[in-house]
Structure 1
């Protein structure tokens, strides 16, 4: 795995979340990292922009946690430099049970301890948090998301399932000549909606769904799933197993010598997960995500350059989830500093900021940050790299 042509990072977290690389340089950072217990004792900080950071310190997405935290710090430092403001990031573990996470967030919001929330975590956590927060503060959710009834306080930066799937599936149908699909995902709100959207997209493209399976989180029987896929006669699998469960599945496929039996399209695989798998050289493993380390657009390259300069080559890989969190912190800070929330909902205010694009109108703080949304990308695994094969605006 290479970043900007440098040697591969020597430190990669495992699936339980190794945060040694995520705490580099905290003492010298202008951004303070706080825990809920600290702010419950100290109380509100009216002269500080305090953002709640819901990041997976444990659970399915714990593998992405260290780089998510790093990218949040990087974004915060850029904002402090650009606006001469003071920022605190309140770190909340979003890897626990949904009700427990939501209760903790509710306590913090109810006590007036955060100006807003940015979340990079699974959608079952988002649903629980939204129900508790009830639009009292803006909530920026960064990963791909399911179709959802719009809430005035929630801003989605990721794609919905049809946006996520249409171009990658079309590319594979055209270039890999697959027609029969198995759908395998975790049994919670986002994979369920992915399967529903995938069924519609596949039908529109003349493809066929021959197997549809949802499995409980933490209970992936790889041998049984591979056997069921073979019995169904599938030549492709859409995989919406998240984090640790996806890692276990792909490891198992390799151990069963089934890597070349099916084209595998993943909806939640970034480079951190691929490294945790041990890499894949089958040529049949693909991932659809908003960003990959090897893409070469200016916006992405600037982020990677800043990340390496700030945290070094041994830091956890800044994969797609982490880059989404970087965007989310910038967007939430722009919302909180814009003055628009005084008479607009978070959704309407974000829509105005996105329409204006980079920069700020007179009277609002200047952010050197591109507020345009990122298009979906398609990449194929080559050992521990994800190499882009699909163009963002076509097949």
Structure 2
């Protein structure tokens, strides 16, 4: 276990997986920048009550590890800002972070250690829905568990708070706009093989067909199985107007790079529901022609169009 302190926020990070890709010096620099932005620093000694121990579950291995460090940094920043304002009901926040990447059963074991050994009172996760399903089954009704990302919907377990947008909120606007304004009539659906892509594709297929379009292909690739070239081959053969993609993290990066390298980006549009800043940066500017992404938080960004 490695423990670090960022001003008034303590982080415990558990090395449950080998070769977790976290740059400690980069993290220390980021924490230093956040701390320098505060008008004053509160120590735990300034609080009369014991800390609220939050188990932070973000990925540091697997395809979704690409956004793990930024999620952890964001959580540290949020906790520091809350502590600056007096914490939660007068209690400071203490973060206990564990790796949420890889096999869902292994993630459950790490989360159990945070709760049973280290006293986490609530879990907050930014990870794949396959992991969410396993964690919900293990912790529903036991302690609060907040799942932050967009997801497929349908979560009703007691004490599980899935706060992200679902397909019927995320995709109607962009899908309708692309069909009406870019003549996207023939759709090909590609995704990783787990619950979120399959549920999203079910919704998109129904929407497209109800609005006069057609789905000319639907294919899945197991996470980490190196099948993105096969997916690109199938898309090239089908010659759709648009590819709807539910590929995550590193899988999304390799698919879109290959897609552009094969020259498909100029003639075939792409719509994704899972490209955030880390993934977009990794894809690279030269591979983003006719690439669209839909996410609710875009409306809150301080861009020229939003203002």
TM-score range, shorter chain: 0.7 to 0.9
Deviations 1:256-287 (A, max 9, x none): 12211310001111121111122246531111
| Aligned positions of 1:151-300 closer than 5 A | 151-280=157-286, 283-292=289-298, 297=300, 300=301
Mind listing any 5+ residue stretches in structure 1 that lack a counterpart? 1-15, 33-45, 302-386
User: CA separation in 1, counterparts of 2:286 and 2:159?
Assistant: 40
How far 1:170 sits from its partner (Å)?
0.8
Q: Identify the residue that residue 55 of structure 1 maps to in structure 2.
A: 58
Alpha-carbon contact 1:165-1:201 (below 8 Å) kept: no
The DSSP-based 3-state class of the residue aligned with 2:55 is strand
User: CA separation in 1, counterparts of 2:73 and 2:215?
Assistant: 40
Counterpart selection for 1:22 from 6, 21, 27: 27
Alpha-carbon contact 1:235-1:263 (below 8 Å) kept: yes
How far 1:125 sits from its partner (Å)?
0.8
The DSSP-based 3-state class of the residue aligned with 1:24 is helix
**Normalising to structure 2: TM-score of the pair?**
0.81
Q: Identify the residue that residue 307 of structure 1 maps to in structure 2.
A: none
CA distance 1:210–1:31, change in 2 (3 Å): farther
Deviations 1:190-223 (A, max 9, x none): 1111111111121222221110111111124333
**Normalising to structure 1: TM-score of the pair?**
0.64
Alpha-carbon contact 1:179-1:235 (below 8 Å) kept: yes
- C-alpha RMSD over aligned residues: 2.5
How far 1:142 sits from its partner (Å)?
0.8
Alpha-carbon contact 1:138-1:153 (below 8 Å) kept: yes
CA distance 1:17–1:163, change in 2 (3 Å): farther
Q: Identify the residue that residue 134 of structure 1 maps to in structure 2.
A: 140
Query: Does residue 86 of structure 2 align to residue 83 of structure 1?
Result: yes
User: CA separation in 1, counterparts of 2:131 and 2:142?
Assistant: 17
* Count of matched residue positions in the alignment of Structure 1 and Structure 2: 272
The DSSP-based 3-state class of the residue aligned with 2:215 is strand
How far 1:388 sits from its partner (Å)?
9.0
The DSSP-based 3-state class of the residue aligned with 2:224 is coil
CA distance 1:183–1:31, change in 2 (3 Å): farther
Query: Does residue 74 of structure 2 align to residue 71 of structure 1?
Result: yes
User: CA separation in 1, counterparts of 2:304 and 2:182?
Assistant: 15
Report 1 or 2 for greater relative contact order, CA contacts < 8 Å, sequence distance ≥ 6: 1
Deviations 1:29-85 (A, max 9, x none): 6699xxxxxxxxxxxxx8111101001122111111121111101110111112253
| Aligned positions of 1:292-311 closer than 5 A | 292=298, 297=300, 300-301=301-302
